[in-house]
Amino acid sequence: MKSKWQVIRKAVKILFITISCFLIACVLFAFTTGPYWVYHWLGTSESEYHFKPDYIIIMGGSGFPGESSLIRSWFAAEIWKKDRSATVIITQPAAACVRPEFSDAWGIRKDLMIRGVDSTKILLEIKGKNTREEGMEVLKIAPGSETKACVLITSPEHMRRSILTFRKLGFSKLGGMPTFNASGPVDLDYKDNQLGGNQMPLPNVGGSLQLRYQFWNHLRYQVICYRELMGLLWYRLRGWI
Q: Read off the pLDDT of residues 27-49 as tens digits, 9 standing for 90 and up.
A: 999 999 999 999 999 999 999 99
- What's the pLDDT band for 167 if we cut at 50, 70, 90? very high
| Predicted local distance difference test score (pLDDT) of residue 58 | 96
Query: At what angle are helices 156-168 and 215-238 packed, to 10 degrees?
Result: 10
Q: What domains does the chain contain, in order, with CATH numbers? A: 42-180 (3.40.50.620)
Choose among 160, 97, 91, 81: nearest CA to 126.
Answer: 91
Mean pLDDT of the chain: 89
Among the listed ranges 65-79, 135-149, 152-166, 195-209, which one has the minimum average pLDDT value?
195-209
pTM metric for this prediction: 0.87
| Residues 6+ positions from 85 with CB-CB distance below 8 Å | 54
Neighbouring C-beta atoms of residue 175, cutoff 10 Å: 17
Q: Half-sphere exposure (CA, 13 Å, Cβ side) for 169?
A: 25
Task: Give mean pLDDT, residues 113-122.
Answer: 96
pLDDT at 72 over 60: yes
pLDDT at 97 over 70: no
| Percentage of residues in the chain having pLDDT higher than 90 | 71
pLDDT at 3 over 80: no
Amino acid at 67: E
- Dihedral (CA of 52, 36, 72, 78) sign: negative
Neighbouring C-beta atoms of residue 147, cutoff 10 Å: 11
| Predicted local distance difference test score (pLDDT) of residue 190 | 65
| Predicted local distance difference test score (pLDDT) of residue 206 | 64
| Residues 6+ positions from 231 with CB-CB distance below 8 Å | 161
Task: Give mean pLDDT, residues 196-207.
Answer: 69
Q: For residue 15, give the H/E element and its range.
A: helix 2-29
Comparing 195 with 112, which gets the higher pLDDT? 112
| Predicted local distance difference test score (pLDDT) of residue 232 | 97
Comparing 53 with 64, which gets the higher pLDDT? 53
| Predicted local distance difference test score (pLDDT) of residue 10 | 86
Rounded Cα gap, residues 75 and 72, in angstroms: 5
Q: Say whether the peptide bond before residue 65 is cis (omega within 30 degrees of 0).
A: yes
pLDDT at 125 over 70: yes
Among the listed ranges 23-27, 66-70, 196-200, 228-232, which one has the minimum average pLDDT value?
196-200
